[in-house]
Structure 1
Amino acid sequence: MSSAADRIGRIECFPVLPRWLFVRIETEQGAVGWGEATLEGHGEAVAGAIDAARDRLIGHDPDRIEDAWQLLHRLGFYRGGPVLMSAIAGIDQALWDLRGRKLGVPVYQLLGGRVRNRISVYAWIGGDRPADIADAAKQRAAQGFTAVKMNGTEDIGWLEGMRQIDALVERVGQVREAGIDVGIDFHGRVHRPLARAALKAIEPLRPLFAEEVVLSDNVDVVAQLAGCSAVPIALGERLYSRWDYRPFLEKGVVDIIQPDLAHAGGISEARRIAAMAEVYDVAFAPHCPIGPLALAACLHVGAATPNFVIQEVSLGIHYNRPAEDLTTLVRNPAMFGIESGAMAIPEGPGLGVEVDEAAVREMAKSPHRWRNPAWRGRDGELREW
């Protein structure tokens, strides 16, 4: 156990399958905390940012979590962006984990205690190119889920998409017939000329939300969409700080924010983003199609956040393979059990995840180089993945 005189002595990162990046912090007296800095497709860049962070944090007091966060965010001159904020996120999670383990309490207790008794969750169905939706929804229901999320379309051109929208309506109807709620993730694949048509088409089916109908690059385009449909608008996986979220909240164009705790500055920043959203009566539903440490961080923040609504879970997601699923590198997989559409709030110290460190170190000896596919249209033009 660390003492008041203990200092950070070692920071390591581990690229592990299928596409995750774990962070391990150890103090000079041997206390350990784990976090996750997964930035899908850019793991090498984040690892480089973590390497630079060592120069600032070796010898730092591990209990001064906010000071460490500010140090990494403010003193590099250049701020924000996915790479730097993901590096901060993994370190921040690991420091919260370390602090909770030192005190023998779960992280949510350090955030003010829980405001709910369990965490509502949803799972993915259908893959990148959605198919076999009805059967997949039934399988998720059998696993204990009461809500799912699916991609809205395959790759889609600026105008050539009405057939895909018709197919989307049919698929969503199949899921609803299976007696399960569904959120629709458009993954930023739809552009403005078709976006309104897509929202109006799904509105009668009453989905939980429409996520990233268009990219979050232009708040005014999102505002136009928000004004044309009653479907709740969700976004945020490609926003990385409270400053990024601010214009969307101020313009009142988003109903559900989805910061990823492995991208958006970790537990510390996600708490601030959620509190800012609460002021605007906006719900908080963290993005998390990645690993167990990021998910555990989400569960703790969700437990202590009043405007939290539902949590994404990567159990059996299409990016994983049977040999590398959510619990592969975890010694206590039961903590991620599903019952009646919810997960239990972790009660172990820190994040509550017992990492199989030997397995992590062995897997990291052959680092992954995960990349998303490059999709092209019929004329050879690149399309959003």
Structure 2
Amino acid sequence: MKIARIETFLVPPRWLFVRVETDDGLVGWGEPVVEGRARTVRAAVEELSEPLVGRDANRIEDIWQELTRAGFYRGGAVFASAVAGIDQALWDLAGKRLSVPIHELLGGPVRDRARVYAWIAGDRPDDIAAEAHVRREQGFDCVKMNGSAELTAIPSPREVSDVVARASAVREAMGDDDFALDFHGRFSPAMARRTLPLLEPLNPLFVEEPVVPELAAEHLPRLTAVSTVPIATGERAYSRWDFVPLMDAGIAVAQPDVSHCGGISEMRRIAAQAETHGISLAPHCPLGPIALAACLQVDFASPNFLIQEQSRGIHYNDDWDVLDYVLDGSVFEVVDGAIERLTGPGLGIEIDDRAVRSADKRGHDWRAPVWRHRDGSLAEW
């Protein structure tokens, strides 16, 4: 089964897909993308693909090692994401060739369903309590929200009160169900130390990325020392080596992104690495159907899995949604807060090739917002 052709597709709302076809007509799909840098990653995928034509598609690990190590310069968001999409597609091909889901190739399932959560509100949430009620009615027993808009380095009483008030409103709406807070690295270390203890009485499932990755290794140990709120991070860590200082810092939840961290191959290793530290797995995935399916395959085979992010109805997906590119969306149906184990071959989904090619003609040019403080200086988004 040799690789015959590799194609990329830039599809709305902000995704990039890769299609790998073998000489015997089998097709595997992957989702390599950095949100806001899709065209850059597309160029990287195309460059990496050139020497792969004619290679044995079954040699997944050998190809992964070559793609990540043979170019001398290693790592980084763009490079690791390009590798991730190719890796996902190769695993999809392997499962299809053997007529089994990928998790069967990872040692078999350790659970029959994977708990998932839904996003509520946007970066400047208004009536978040009402949105939480809607999500509960849709079958979710856990939601996640952005905890704030832009934040100053030393928080005012008003900023701190707003964060706690938003979280309190969602806790009341969710009752005894779960909620999580994402801060996108908007906290300064000082604000994180001040605010996290105030959130403890609300029992969030976790608080995500309280500080930017550049400060994580130094400051996360201090945060875990001053608060019992579980800290989650990892969407901007691109390899198992990037996770070492995060795990040593005492995080509770590892959040590798299967489209950023080198694909299924590396996320599986990160999951096992987290298990040795007593850390739960909650893969980051505000992306499309291929990335979600790839995450779920690892989730079903990982003993330390906690919960899965998914982007149906997320505020970034204007006019497009996860199900727009799959032939059978029922595989992602949420019942009692969970998705049933995918049993189809490979990724367990069927991509609508015609819809993907049509959407690629339209493409997209999604960019992350640029936020500024009142004084005109740049703010973390």
TM-score by structure 1 length?
A: 0.96
2:196 aligned counterpart, secondary structure: helix
For residues 78-123 of structure 1, give each alpha carbon's deviation from its aligned partner in whole angstroms, at most 9, with x where no partner exists: 1111001000100000011111111111111011100011101101
Select the residue among 214, 226, 229 that pairs with 1:228.
Answer: 226
The answer to whether the 8 Å contact 2:220/2:249 transfers is no
Counterpart AA for 1:327: L
Which residue identity does 2:256 align to in structure 1? Answer: P
1:137-189 deviations in Å (ceiling 9; x for gaps):
00000110000000111011112443122122122222222223110000001
Counterpart in the other structure of 1:276: 273
Farther-moved stretch of structure 1 (179-188 vs 301-310): 179-188
Distance 2:92 2:42 in 1: 20
Corresponding residue of 1:246: 244
| Separation (CA, whole Å) in 1 of partners of 2:2 and 2:94 | 12
Is contact 1:10-1:25 (8 Å) kept?
yes
Q: Does 1:88 align with 2:86?
A: no
Distance 1:214 1:70 in 2: 31
The one-letter amino acid paired with 2:349 is: V
Higher helix proportion: 2
Distance, in Å, in 2 between the alignment partners of 1:162 and 1:187 is 20
Q: 2:133 aligns with which of 127, 135, 138?
A: 138
Residue 375 of structure 1 pairs with residue 350 of structure 2: no
Alignment partners' CA distance in 1, 2:17 and 2:33: 7
Q: Which residue of 1 aligns with 2:336?
A: 340
User: Structure 1 runs of 4+ off > 6 angstroms?
Assistant: none
The structural deviation recorded for 1:129 is 1.4
Letter in 2 for 1:48: A
Give, in whole Å, the separation in 1 of the partners of 2:245 and 2:51. Answer: 32
TM superposition shift of 1:252: 3.7
Q: How does 1:1-385 map to 2 (within 5 A)?
A: 6-178=1-173, 179=175, 180-218=177-215, 219-249=217-247, 251-321=248-318, 323-385=319-381
Tell me which amino acid in the other structure corresponds to 1:206.
N
Name the CA distance, whole Å, in 2 between partners of 1:115 and 1:164: 43
- CA separation in 1, counterparts of 2:165 and 2:335? 28
1-structure distance, mates of 2:160, 2:284: 24
The amino acid that maps onto 2:56 is D
Q: Which moved further from structure 2: 55-64 or 141-150?
A: 55-64
Query: By how many angstroms is 1:193 displaced?
Result: 2.1
Question: Which residue identity lines up with residue 276 of structure 2 in the other structure?
Answer: V
Contact kept? 1:35, 1:93, Cα under 8 Å: yes
Partners of 2:193 and 2:223 within 8 A in 1: yes
Shift of 1:366: 2.1
Measure, in 1, the Cα distance between the counterparts of 2:3 and 2:192: 49
Structure-2 separation of matches of 1:71 and 1:131: 48
| Matched-pair contact (CA < 8 Å) for 2:5–2:22 | yes
CA, structure 1 residues 161+48, in 2 after alignment: closer, same or farther (shift >3 Å)? farther
Distance 2:105 2:131 in 1: 38
The 2-side partners of 1:289 and 1:129 are apart by 18
Deviates more, 1:186-195 or 1:294-303: 186-195
> Deviation of residue 48 (structure 1)?
1.0
Distance (whole Å) between structure 1 residues aligned to residue 74 and residue 35 of structure 2: 20
SS in 2 for 1:281: coil
CA distance in 1, matches of 2:93, 2:159: 48
SS in 1 for 2:74: coil
| TM-score between both structures, scaled by the size of structure 2 | 0.97
Q: Distance in 2 between matches of 1:306 and 1:38?
A: 27
CA distance in 2, matches of 1:170, 1:380: 27
User: Hey, what's the Cα distance between the residues in 2 that align with 1:367 and 1:237?
Assistant: 25
Q: Following the alignment from structure 2 to structure 1, what is the Cα–Cα distance between the partners of residues 327 and 47?
A: 31
Question: What is the Cα deviation at residue 300 of structure 1?
Answer: 0.7
Helix, strand or coil for the counterpart of 1:364?
A: helix
Secondary structure at 1:327's aligned position in 2? helix
Structure 2 SS opposite 1:238:
coil
- Superposed displacement of residue 220, structure 1: 1.3
The runs of 5 or more residues in structure 2 that have no matched partner are: none
Aligned letter for 1:355? I
2:187 and 2:246 mapped to 1: Cα distance?
Answer: 19
Letter in 1 for 2:321: D
